[in-house]
């Protein structure tokens, strides 16, 4: 509520503690960070130059969310849904995250796997407004000035891709920008990381996709992918530029790089920067969690299992490495653990029997002939990377070890309930992913401080309260001052007359 202040002769003697804004009028509506649509209050409209620029009705965020969900139900095409949802993000950021959190189970497959892959393949055709930072190999020697062009001064998390291996679709070049954008949406929706602290980046060194090189709507360099030393120099310069502007503890997540580059960059940078590769380490953590859940179902330790992989790419090797670590914790020698890992390049293994199934993309429930209903688990990295990222950011970590992902994997498994198991799930319900991510962040934060890996001091006593109190909320803030700080020369605060 606004109040008249008796005895105050000038508004310049007051300092506001509420949300600080510079714009008035239409810029507030055009900025997705400040736009609330028809949820601006009457007083906000009067004081901020919005009166008459909006219909007279004052709406709640609940009504706005209801309108969105009603409109979405009318759509059947996944790409159309993607365009509609991401359009909300362009107009009203807090409403966008509100609707994601309302129904994350239904909307995550649209903003992330699998629809984001379709969106990436059509990125130039559905392009409306640029998001993120684009850096090309032509920019070598000037990367820091490009990073300086980003308007946010306090970025905490960067997700970067070079577009060479987008999901199972291969080389999509600059079209791969949809992946960092989608990942960072989940940073916020699942773990409450402030959206203004997140930066999606696409590195453009060309593409070997001939279809894109003939596509008139392609938005990147029309050249074959540069695989020379210039490429490595570009990535080096990028890492220096990001940490030079935002600090050495800025989290840099590598995403959908080609297998060869993914592994060597992880080896190259993991001890120099606060970085991880989600395809290798995030996938490994969520897969290991599924295996740890199997322990609960069949009652045998992971160290007693033999694990068969079809293929030996980034994900498989990352998973295998983390499984070996888990077996070693159970008392199995490293060499013996390696003997229990098998990798095949093609053809699977078929057996007859009660199947424990999970996949990265959602599947419909399966009803057996005997009437039992099983719900396939979604072994999706989204269970892992948001919570890990939140813990890393809040703890000011400079390097991320594989043990962090082992702890995250354990924390995920611990949240699997008996009810989940009875339904055939190997992971908690996706609808609970915000709480799951929070608990993972608390577990990892405890681990980081216990092992002297955190650089944020003083160390918070209650890690759970610490994590939860710093998670971004999607409810609307008042854009008007409501709390005042009295000037030092004032003998006593003026009386407030309602």
Looking at the annotation, which residues are catalytic?
A: 112, 183
Dihedral pair phi/psi, residue 249, rounded to 5°: -95, 15
349: burial class by Cβ within 10 Å (0-12, 13-18, 19+)? exposed
Dihedral pair phi/psi, residue 344, rounded to 5°: -115, 145
Q: For residue 376, what are the CA distances in angstroms to 28, 367, 380, 437?
A: 44, 11, 12, 20
Spatial contact of 239 and 160, defined as CB atoms under 8 Å apart? no
Residue 313's contacts (CB-CB under 8 Å, 6 or more residues apart) are: 259
Spatial contact of 241 and 225, defined as CB atoms under 8 Å apart? no
150: burial class by Cβ within 10 Å (0-12, 13-18, 19+)? middle
Which two three-digit tokens encode residue 37? 């649509």
Spatial contact of 25 and 49, defined as CB atoms under 8 Å apart? yes
Spatial contact of 377 and 397, defined as CB atoms under 8 Å apart? no
Dihedral pair phi/psi, residue 280, rounded to 5°: -90, -55
Bridge partners of residue 203, in order along the sequence: 135
Rounded CA separation 146/238 (Å):
10
Bridge partners of residue 342, in order along the sequence: 308
- The C-alpha angle 242, 245, 246, rounded to 5 degrees, equals 80
Element containing residue 435 per DSSP (H, E):
helix 433-450
Residue 259's contacts (CB-CB under 8 Å, 6 or more residues apart) are: 165, 313, 314
């Amino acid at each position: 509520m606004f109040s008249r202040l008796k005895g105050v002769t000038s508004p310049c003697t007051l300092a506001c503690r509420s949300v600080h804004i510079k714009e008035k009028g239409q810029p507030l509506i055009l900025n997705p960070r400040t736009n609330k649509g028809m949820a601006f209050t009457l007083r906000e409209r009067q004081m901020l130059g919005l009166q008459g620029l909006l219909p007279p009705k004052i709406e709640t965020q609940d009504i706005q969310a209801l309108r969105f969900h009603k409109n979405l139900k009318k759509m059947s095409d996944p790409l159309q849904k993607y365009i509609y949802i991401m359009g909300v993000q362009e107009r009203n950021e807090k409403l966008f995250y509100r609707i994601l959190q309302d129904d994350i189970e239904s909307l995550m497959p649209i903003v992330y796997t699998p629809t984001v892959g379709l969106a990436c393949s059509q990125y130039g055709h559905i392009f409306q407004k640029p998001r993120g930072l684009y850096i090309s190999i032509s920019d070598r020697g000037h990367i820091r000035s490009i990073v300086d062009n980003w308007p946010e001064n306090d970025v905490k998390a960067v997700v970067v891709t070079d577009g060479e291996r987008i999901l199972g679709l291969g080389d999509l070049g600059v079209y791969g920008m949809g992946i960092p954008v989608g990942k960072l949406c989940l940073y916020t929706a699942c773990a409450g990381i402030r959206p203004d602290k997140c930066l999606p980046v696409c590195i453009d060194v060309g593409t070997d996709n001939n279809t894109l090189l003939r596509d008139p709507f392609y938005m990147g360099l029309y050249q074959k992918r540069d695989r020379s030393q210039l490429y490595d120099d570009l990535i080096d310069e990028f890492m220096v530029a990001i940490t030079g502007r935002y600090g050495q503890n800025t989290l840099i997540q590598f995403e959908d790089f080609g297998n060869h580059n993914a592994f060597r960059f992880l080896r190259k940078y993991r001890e120099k920067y606060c970085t991880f590769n989600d395809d290798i380490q995030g996938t490994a953590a969520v897969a290991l969690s599924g295996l740890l859940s199997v322990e609960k179902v069949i009652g045998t330790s992971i160290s007693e299992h033999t694990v068969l992989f079809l293929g030996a790419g980034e994900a498989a090797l990352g998973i295998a490495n983390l499984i070996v670590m888990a077996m070693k914790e159970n008392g199995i020698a490293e060499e013996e653990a390696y003997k229990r890992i098998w990798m095949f390049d093609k053809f699977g293994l078929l057996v007859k029997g009660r199947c424990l199934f999970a996949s990265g993309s959602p599947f419909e429930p399966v009803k057996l002939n005997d009437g039992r209903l099983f719900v396939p688990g979604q072994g999706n990295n989204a269970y892992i990377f948001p919570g890990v990222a939140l813990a890393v950011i809040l703890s000011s970590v400079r390097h991320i070890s594989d043990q962090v992902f082992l702890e995250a994997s354990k924390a995920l498994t611990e949240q699997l309930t008996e009810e989940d198991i009875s339904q055939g799930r190997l992971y908690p319900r996706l609808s609970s992913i915000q709480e799951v991510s929070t608990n993972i962040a608390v577990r990892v934060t405890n681990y980081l401080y216990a092992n002297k890996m955190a650089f944020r001091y003083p160390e918070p006593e209650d890690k759970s309260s610490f994590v939860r109190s710093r998670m971004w909320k999607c409810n609307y803030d008042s854009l008007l001052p409501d709390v005042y700080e009295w000037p030092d020369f004032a003998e006593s605060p003026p009386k407030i007359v309602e």
